[in-house]
Amino acid sequence: MSGITLNRRKIMLAAVSAAATGLALPTGMGFAQAAPTGASSPKGLNAGGNVGHYRFRVGDISATVLSDGLIGGPPRVYASNAPEAELEEVLRQAFLPTDRMTLNLNTLLIETNGKRILLEAGAGQTMGPHGGRLFENLAAIGLGPEDIDIVVVSHTHPDHVGNLRTADDGKAFPRATVFAPRADWDFFVRNDPDLSYMPVPADFRRNFAAAIRQSVEPVTNGIELYEAGDEIVSGLTTLPALGHTPGMANFLVQSGNDQLLLTADLAYHPIVNVDRPWLPGPDRDKDTALASRRRIFDMAAVDRLLVLGFHYPFPGLGRMLKTDIGYAWVPANWQF
């Protein structure tokens, strides 16, 4: 398909309305173990009173976004090269706090060929007390951790692997085969990673590395390591999206003529990394990450793909538009 370049001013209101839906209580940035729990509220509602799952289809594939809750931090962490005054004004114009950015944790369950496949394990409480909602939202759709056949993570940061470990050090998804990118496994798990590139205090970096090792310990035996570009199962392909981590992948789900692109941590929030070209501070190799971002965002815009952003305002679904100065995020219409 041919791409269409649009004037950015004409579509910014749509992007701002999307960002406004991300308002929520800010989260802490401490570390704790993940602990699967059953549904804690009646009628599929979480403790806050809102549904934390969202169903849709990709061709013949049933798909459900399952929220694992929220994390967050200073906006500067996610927009490392933004001029301070401009960053504050952009956040203010989007009706967002200027001192803290709240990020969602949007995992995806797909059901295809008799398999239930979870894309991203979520954070649990490895990055604050407002994560770890995945299991109650899974229970709200009538499933438990034992019903998951495969878990695929895009990279091994704690907010993507935290739920792999139970509070008593067990395997949270007892029947599931877990897939992780080989380059990330080598860097973060098999070695002591140098995280000096991360724009956070040293104790945060130490806890971050420890949380990764602790989270994946129960699945170390039997882990399936993949190279970005591998097909996991029919209809689920990984795409190289290097730079944020040594091995980060994106996911392409396809059934018939329908496609869904999961962009992992190519961008943290549409307001600062899509509608503005600011660089995420946690990117290990910012030049490579920027090249990956442009390549995949271009593909999404040209092919008019449905996109799921892992950290975008729930349920994280929308499309990329190519504009005269970059990109813009347009949320998908809610389906009842």
- Judged against a pLDDT cut of 80, whether residue 126 lies above it is answered with yes
pLDDT digits (tens, 9 = 90+) for 260-304: 999 999 999 999 999 999 999 999 999 999 999 999 999 999 999
Residue 336: inside a domain: no
The pTM of the full predicted model, rounded to 2 decimals, is: 0.87
Residue 251: inside a domain: yes
CATH of the domain at 222: 3.60.15.10
Give the Cβ contact number of residue 6 at 10 Å: 14
Residue 200: inside a domain: yes
Report yes or no: 313 and 102 within 8 Å, Cβ to Cβ.
no
Provide the terminal-to-terminal Cα distance of the chain, rounded to the nearest Å.
29
Report yes or no: 123 and 50 within 8 Å, Cβ to Cβ.
no
Mean pLDDT score, 238-252 = 98
Tokens of 299: 């593909």
pLDDT at residue 336, as a whole number: 86
User: How many domains are there within the chain?
Assistant: 1
Q: Which domain holds residue 153?
A: 5-331
Mean pLDDT score, 36-51 = 53
pLDDT digits (tens, 9 = 90+) for 94-124: 999 999 999 999 999 999 999 999 999 999 9
pLDDT at residue 8, as a whole number: 52
C-alpha 68/C-alpha 163 separation (Å) is 9
Residue 182: inside a domain: yes
Tokens of 122: 């979520």
